[in-house]
Amino acid sequence: MDKLIIEGGVKLKGEVTVSGAKNAVLPILAATLLTDEPCVIKNVPNLRDSNSMFKILRSLGKIVEFDKGKVTVCAGKTSNYIAEYKLVSTMRASFCVLGPLLGKLKKAKVSLPGGCVIGVRPVDLHLKGIKALGAQINIDSGYVEAKAKCLHGAYIYLGGVYGSSVLATDNVMMAAVLAKGKTIIESAACEPEVADLAEFLIKMGAKIKGHGTPIIEIEGVKSLRGAMHVIIPDRIEAGTMVLAALITEGDILIKNVQYHHLGALIDKLKEAGAHLSYADGSLHVKGNKRLKAVNITTLPYPGFPTDMQAQMMALMCVTGGISVITEKIYPDRFMHVAELNRMGAHIQREGPHAIVEGIKGLSGAPVMASDLRASACLVLAGLAARGKTSISRIYHLERGYEFIEQKLINLGAKVWREKE
């Protein structure tokens, strides 16, 4: 197992291109289960999670080929409706094969999911939506078994304790596209990744309206065809690179960015005094020493993304003043706090709040990644810190950031791997 070593203190400079969105590509790959015709997906990032989904699709009878960001998915000679624990347990997003399997085959057996350890993330909203479409659900030995002679349209309210659910919206939408009649999903997730999935389903012949809003309308069709689709840029990678420029007081041109996907983050960074400019799909970020602390509250899209909370905390650690970061999506998503404090940060946790007192600088230290976004947070902290930072368990980082090590090196960072 490798660890990542970072020699901090280098101002990052240059250009970097954002890869395809991890949180869009995984459900879109799952959606290929809805048709027997070939599908071609482009701008697919080479990630651990992408490769995990390839394995799941192959186990379900698909032929999957991946080459230089292009995935071709075709039907094999046999099909399977069981997604096994050894595959699904590696990432939570793999649970979204439940909807398309049920929609196409009218039966599915999917292991309860795994992924990052960032607190309880139940699948109750998924099952609520699937049941509303007419499926019978049974949970036994760690598996969700669903079956239905015929799925039918329904009115489904998908609001949860912490707001809407992206994966539940994905799952229900994919099951509903082949159901009889109209389905209305209220309190649907509005994230760009959900809208991207809907656009792919529409290309396959689905009838969907309202995606990207809290109310999605789906008119079921008898069958879906194959389609070609280009994945949207990863807004979380783009945001992480923006913060890399700011935390190192660097100067970076970030290419392949959809500006409107980053509204909440950019608004907070402008409030902090950051200099950003956008033109022709590229975002120019120039760091400065005069940033001020800002308060952050994570919310469902278009609010401030929970997937940027940890990285923003790293920036606030070295920004003058006191900031309060409130996590309203996953209240336990603060496992990076202890690691940042090991690097000299002044952070106090109080329930769903983290109180961050900005200091002049962090110092390099051995730290351990607990989840995907905490890994990115520690990388940012390491880039800004004095001396060497050693980050263990970087396989978390590889789940969601394509070629991140090389991208940072191209920007001038002193980063390398060593064996644990």
Provide the pLDDT for residue 290. 86
Residue 389 near residue 382, CB atoms below 8 Å: yes
Provide the pLDDT for residue 142. 87
Confidence of residue 19 (pLDDT cuts 50, 70, 90): very high
Provide the pLDDT for residue 332. 85
User: What are all long-range contacts of 181-184, with beta carbons under 8 Å and residues at least 24 apart?
Assistant: 181/152, 181/153, 181/219, 181/220, 182/153, 182/217, 182/218, 182/219, 182/220, 183/133, 183/153, 183/154, 183/155, 183/156, 183/217, 183/218, 183/220, 184/154, 184/155, 184/156, 184/215, 184/216, 184/217, 184/218
Three-state secondary structure of the chain: CEEEEEECCCCCEEEEECCECHHHHHHHHHHHHHCCCCEEEECCCCCHHHHHHHHHHHHCCEEEEEECCEEEEEECCCCCCEECHHHHCCCHHHHHHHHHHHHHHCEEEEECCCCCCCCCCCCHHHHHHHHHCCCEEEEECCEEEEECCCCECCEEECCECCECCHHHHHHHHHHHCCCECEEEEECCCCCHHHHHHHHHHHHCCCEEECCCCCEEEEECCCCCCCCEEECCECHHHHHHHHHHHHHCCCEEEEECCCHHHHHHHHHHHHHHCCEEEEECCEEEEECCCCCECCCEEECCCCCECHHHHHHHHHHHHCCECEEEEECCCCCCCCCHHHHHHHCCCEEEEECCEEEEECCCCCECCEEECCCHHHHHHHHHHHHHCECEEEEECCHHHHCCCCCHHHHHHHCCCEEEEEEC
Residue carrying structure tokens 């789940």: 399
Provide the pLDDT for residue 119. 46
Confidence of residue 255 (pLDDT cuts 50, 70, 90): very high
Confidence of residue 1 (pLDDT cuts 50, 70, 90): confident
Q: If you average pLDDT over every residue of the chain, what do you get?
A: 95
Provide the pLDDT for residue 122. 75
Give the Cα separation of 290 and 93 in Å (integer): 39
Would strands 182-186 and 155-157 be described as parallel, antiparallel, or unpaired? Answer: parallel
Residue 47 near residue 231, CB atoms below 8 Å: no
Domains and CATH numbers, the chain: 2-19+234-419 (3.65.10.10), 22-221 (3.65.10.10)
The encoded tokens of residue 312 equal 């923003």
The encoded tokens of residue 139 equal 């949970």
Provide the pLDDT for residue 414. 98
- Region 388-402: mean pLDDT is 94
Q: Which residues touch 122 (CB under 8 Å, ≥6 apart)? A: none
- Region 364-381: mean pLDDT is 95
- Region 400-411: mean pLDDT is 97
Type of residue found at 322: I
For the chain, percent of residues with pLDDT exceeding 90: 88
Provide the pLDDT for residue 188. 98
- Region 68-72: mean pLDDT is 97
Please write the tens of the pLDDT for every residue from 80-139.
999 998 888 888 888 999 999 999 999 999 998 754 444 445 789 999 999 999 999 999
Provide the pLDDT for residue 118. 42
pLDDT surpassing 90 at residue 277 = yes
Give the Cα separation of 86 and 310 in Å (integer): 29
For the chain, percent of residues with pLDDT exceeding 70: 98
Provide the pLDDT for residue 288. 86
248 φ/ψ angles, rounded to the nearest 5 degrees: -100, 5
Provide the pLDDT for residue 284. 98
Provide the pLDDT for residue 114. 56
Q: How many CB atoms lie within 10 A of CB 337?
A: 20
Q: Which residues touch 47 (CB under 8 Å, ≥6 apart)? A: 22, 398, 399, 400, 401, 402
* pTM for the structure as a whole: 0.96
pLDDT surpassing 90 at residue 162 = no
Q: 90 vs 183, which has greater pLDDT? A: 183
Residue 38 near residue 208, CB atoms below 8 Å: no
Provide the pLDDT for residue 93. 84
Provide the pLDDT for residue 121. 55
The encoded tokens of residue 311 equal 């990285």
| Annotation marks residue 39 as catalytic | no
From 116, 190, 317, 377, the catalytic residue: 116
Type of residue found at 197: L
Give the Cα separation of 401 and 376 in Å (integer): 9
Please write the tens of the pLDDT for every residue from 308-360.
999 999 999 999 999 999 999 988 899 999 999 999 999 999 999 999 999 99
Provide the pLDDT for residue 117. 44
